[in-house]
Homo-oligomer: A and B are copies of this chain.
């Protein structure tokens, strides 16, 4: 019997589900995608590189166009904004269109930038950066050649945008309430990021809480107000992170967790709702180390969760067992910023303590390849291990070329609960152009072993 899957949201998670289902479901099953914006399947992570000019056009960030999805037999409806979900009647309401009935629903509504409730926040010239439409708005704003750009927040998106603005010649200031930028890394590594910012001509106001925005008579931003001073600003970018875009889900009574993320099981099925799945930046997912449900909005998880949701829906349609599940995350993140590479995985020292571990933290300096080769660059690796079990809890890297991706060894080790002793004995790649005889992750693991005694 022909059935209909409706997917709300046409970016990474939504289009992954739709594409996988279109490949596997019988052709008489409908796959409908409702996308309120102008684009499908795009890389939001690429927006800073579009702003900087390294990427020439928004089209370049689109992995697959609307037409390509249509040609694949997916009923993509652009500009279609879902306004309500009725889980009992199994219908979705759409602005300026008839309600659409579904047999199975996928919510992939993504995330939205945090916009704190501060005086002046709704002034013009204040931008979030989450969608390609947001990116276009920011580019249009920069085209007016503002004298002073202020980025509020020093998470990786904030920093990447700040670097892009400096690259384009704008006077750029980053304001953050934290004492060091990039609060996802330990403060001693954050200091290195702060030094790189200064070297690249980015002004950093750390330990500084924004209290509001000064607007001119036209309602355009003119200043960012902080506890200490008022900073001149013709254009403001909000880099304060995101929360799940889950208003629709909330209104329909779906369970929500941290930062408004929809609560799902390991098959991305919404807890308590047999006909509804959710995936991507709008859900919470399990931290593999702590078991906590956390909100980690990243394209890499959205793609995997999309595959898992599609597999579960196919199993539901065919009456078979699902073949895959989503095991959760270990909070891996990476960025390149002002000639520094930065990465992290697992828990930071404070997160580890908060989760009830007894963490031992070590920090080592090494080089990105054998020290006798020409021009080695330094890198710092911080490693956090649990005193009682000797398990790896987390690792972080800041360094020059060829440093940050080494975090993947730690991310893999975390997934299986490996001890720092076992990491020391891994058979990792070694040749002089790539590392010293001990890989940087192993140099850190040896330091952790020593610290654990």
Q: Which residue numbers of A lie inside 8 Å of B, CB to CB?
A: 12, 43, 45-46, 49, 54-55, 60-61, 156, 288, 298-301, 303-304, 324, 326-327, 329-336, 343, 345, 370, 372-374, 402, 404-409, 411-416, 418, 421-422, 424-435, 437-439
Contacts and interface: CB of A to CB of B under 8 A. Distances in A.
A239 to B, nearest CB: 15
Contacts of A332: 427-430
Give how many copies assemble into the complex. 2
A330 B413 CA distance: 16
Contact of A426 (B373, B412, B437): B412
A409 B408 CA distance: 6
Given A45-B431, A300-B428, A372-B55, A413 B411 contact: no
A299 B326 CA distance: 39
Give me the 3 closest cross-chain CB pairs, A-B, nearest first: A334-B429, A300-B430, A60-B372
A135 to B, nearest CB: 13
Contacts of A434: 334, 336, 404-405
Which of the listed residues A60, A156, A288, A427 has the most CB atoms from chain B within 10 Å of its own CB? A427
A407 B336 CA distance: 21
Contacts of A324: 421, 424-425
B437 A303 contact: yes
Contacts of A303: 437-438
A432 B45 contact: yes
A342 B416 CA distance: 27
Contact of A49 (B326, B335, B409, B432): B432
A427 B411 contact: yes
Nearest to A54: B374
A429 to B, nearest CB: 4
Given A61-B372, A370-B46, A411 B426 contact: yes
Nearest to A438: B303
Contact of A429 (B43, B60, B304, B407): B407
Nearest to A288: B427
A286 B435 CA distance: 24
